[in-house]
Structure 1
């Protein structure tokens, strides 16, 4: 239950912890993979042989247009687009938050999804069986966490963004979202390519609320991601799939 060999996969944010696991597996099963990420993230986590990395700041429309122009020079169509772009910062309550901090997180997590998907759609429409996978979050679907206001709002927005896209681009392009729980990646310190800070999330406490009694790993998500891009998921669209160990169940 994976995409057919030779199909094209574009992963925005592909140098992050989840992205690297997805890209590695996709490359191993014979997909043609393109990674879009910040140059400093590409430098820190070089892609494997056979994978094409393109430097792209997902908050800059000109970067995104240039990146997809580069992809179009190498392939006629994109079969699958996965958006993993997003970040948060240190916990700040809404009443104490500066305008700039709110805007930065919303633009980097929600508006970036709009910019990326808008650029990807023309090439996706040329595929026989295209799919889009956005990344929501348990924080944006179940129980928002104090101090993560703009991130929770952005991820809740991703859920309805996904639904609207599924309606607008159906029946040809399937559009779904993945809502991870707490996953052990650099994201817990802000995000790959961003200043490293200690996590403000008490992981030991959160584990006690998870029925499976552990923090997730990127590999826990990859199977679902590849399944949603596969022919086995041909009747699944407009859905948000939860992979969270039962967190807040």
Structure 2
């Protein structure tokens, strides 16, 4: 049995029965894998992505609610969250998986590109959390899981300044949310290394400093997100879970 089949064939345990979860970046990659896993674990889902075709396919496969939205557009996100909350009867959790990676040296990456990366990865995360908060505050055992990066913990890969800054911001934003929203809402960060998704195209071979010497399957990251969303992590908040194959050893 190959690794992908092994990761997806484990039986569901109903860890999210009755939970109502918003997932961004659900059209592909980690967001899509998380949606698939969460649906199997019994969650009702509202999925957001700006890529409408992939989003529609994911939602159709999972009987989930889908809304095309750009996470940097507060009005668009607010409308999508409002509609999703109405359809699900509330929101118990949010997973911010939407993101973008930009490679280039400081001299190659202009200010406009820098701002775009921070807008999507950091400001987009803030907007989604802010729009979900009125419902999260009404829920019991509400959770926020944001996607950071191994670069959040150890920003030593060259030509990643904008990406590293944005993901470092996500990590500290999540810690600040954990402090501000406790004890009613838990907020944690998952920090993946390289994952076998379209975002990793062109850098798949850069795993020489990974203890496990390979990219992650998206479902492996989804399982880390599941842990931080489920009651199994009920005493965990403000944490940064490194799911990076031993890249950072944090």
Q: How does 1:197-216 map to 2 (within 5 A)?
A: 199=202, 201=203, 203-204=204-205, 206-216=206-216
Residue 57 of structure 1: which of 70, 74, 92 is its match? Answer: 70
Q: Do residues 5 (structure 1) and 17 (structure 2) align?
A: yes
What is the root-mean-square deviation of aligned Cα atoms in Å?
A: 1.7
* TM-score computed with the length of structure 1 as normaliser: 0.89
Q: How many residues align?
A: 236
Contact preservation (8 Å) 1:59, 1:108: yes
Unmatched runs of 5 consecutive residues or more in structure 2: 1-12
1:43 CA displacement: 5.6
Contact preservation (8 Å) 2:44, 2:88: no
Instruction: State how far apart, in whole Å, the 1-side matches of 2:51 and 2:211 are.
Output: 38
Q: Do residues 97 (structure 1) and 131 (structure 2) align?
A: no
Match of 1:136 in 2: 148
Q: 1:45 to 1:186 in 2, by over 3 A?
A: farther
Contact preservation (8 Å) 2:196, 2:218: yes
Q: How does 1:47-196 map to 2 (within 5 A)?
A: 47=59, 48-89=61-102, 91-189=103-201
Match of 1:244 in 2: 244
Match of 2:9 in 1: none
1:41 CA displacement: 4.8
1:222 CA displacement: 1.8
Unmatched runs of 5 consecutive residues or more in structure 1: 190-198
Instruction: State how far apart, in whole Å, the 2-side matches of 1:134 and 1:80 are.
Output: 11
Q: 1:57 to 1:214 in 2, by over 3 A?
A: same
Q: 1:112 to 1:41 in 2, by over 3 A?
A: farther
* TM-score computed with the length of structure 2 as normaliser: 0.89
Contact preservation (8 Å) 1:143, 1:248: no
Q: 1:156 to 1:2 in 2, by over 3 A?
A: farther
1:9-35 alpha-carbon deviations (Å, 9 max, x no partner): 110111121111111111122210110
Contact preservation (8 Å) 2:15, 2:42: no
1:76 CA displacement: 3.2
Q: Do residues 225 (structure 1) and 225 (structure 2) align?
A: yes
> Which runs of structure 1 show a deviation greater than 4 angstroms over 4 or more consecutive aligned residues?
none
1:106-127 alpha-carbon deviations (Å, 9 max, x no partner): 1111111111110011111111
1:184-220 alpha-carbon deviations (Å, 9 max, x no partner): 101124xxxxxxxxx2x2x33x232221121111111
Instruction: State how far apart, in whole Å, the 2-side matches of 1:140 and 1:7 are.
Output: 29
Match of 1:196 in 2: none
1:142 CA displacement: 0.9
Instruction: State how far apart, in whole Å, the 2-side matches of 1:41 and 1:87 are.
Output: 18
Equivalent position SS for 1:95? coil
